[in-house]
Chain A
Amino acid sequence: EAGVTQFPSHSVIEKGQTVTLRCDPISGHDNLYWYRRVMGKEIKFLLHFVKESKQDESGMPNNRFLAERTGGTYSTLKVQPAELEDSGVYFCASSQELRGNEQFFGPGTRLTVL
């Protein structure tokens, strides 16, 4: 069974540009999460989808970030326009059920904003 995949693995863009990150969860997992690790700090929660609906987006930093999960399968996270402080590693995770079920993580996308 394939794990969580993320694309691209690395992205280098200039300030003001737009970047879209993609996450493909494990097949059959209704729950999809986005997290971010900035500059060697802690990994922070961004948002949680249940199927195509946003269950919790309390961690989204500002309105330059837009996450979608059309059809309840893969998800995209768009940053527009990107700022320097958006640099970091963006992780996606998925899980089958709620209430403490293991979240399976992807390898992450390293975003560098110059």
Chain B
Amino acid sequence: GNSVTQMEGPVTLSEEAFLTINCTYTATGYPSLFWYVQYPGEGLQLLLKATKADDKGSNKGFEATYRKETTSFHLEKGSVQVSDSAVYFCALLTGANNLFFGTGTRLTVIP
């Protein structure tokens, strides 16, 4: 079956710290992988995506590389800002076209 396992939160970091949120997946076939972000009071927004092995998705300083050998798609950012405080969801998309999400990781960045 299809599933996503992501790092439990919450995560609290100081501004300019390095961020890693782990995400591993189980999937049939060759899924596309996504990171969505939900800022306070808003809906889910696509942060970045990768559609095949070894692809790197990047946006707003965040990066994630599709690693087929380790079935992972870890989210990283070299220097977080207070404005990055949000809930981050790892997700995969299969041929059935519905997204499978992880449980979400709440990030709080303190000044």
- Contact assessment for A105 and B98 in the assembled complex, using a CB-CB cutoff below 8 Å: no
Cβ of B42 within 8 Å of any chain A Cβ, yes or no, is yes
In the complex, what residues of B have CB within 8 A of residue A100's CB? 32, 51, 93, 97
Cβ of B35 within 8 Å of any chain A Cβ, yes or no, is no
Cβ of B103 within 8 Å of any chain A Cβ, yes or no, is yes
Known: A91-B44, A105-B36, A105-B44. A35 touches B51 (CB 8 A): no
- Contact assessment for A4 and B43 in the assembled complex, using a CB-CB cutoff below 8 Å: yes
Report the bound CA distance from A33 to B104 in whole Å: 19
Counting contact residues on chain A (CB < 8 A from B), the size range is 20 to 34
Cβ of A45 within 8 Å of any chain B Cβ, yes or no, is yes
- Contact assessment for B97 and A107 in the assembled complex, using a CB-CB cutoff below 8 Å: no
On A, residues with C-beta under 8 Å from B are 3-4, 31, 33, 35, 37, 40-45, 48, 55-56, 59, 91, 93, 98-100, 102-108
The main secondary structure of chain B at its interface with chain A is strand
Cβ of B53 within 8 Å of any chain A Cβ, yes or no, is no
- Contact assessment for B43 and A108 in the assembled complex, using a CB-CB cutoff below 8 Å: yes
- Contact assessment for B98 and A33 in the assembled complex, using a CB-CB cutoff below 8 Å: yes
A sample of 5 cross-chain residue pairs with beta-carbon separation below 8 angstroms, ordered by A number, consists of: A33-B99, A41-B103, A43-B99, A48-B97, A91-B43
Report the bound CA distance from A43 to B44 in whole Å: 11
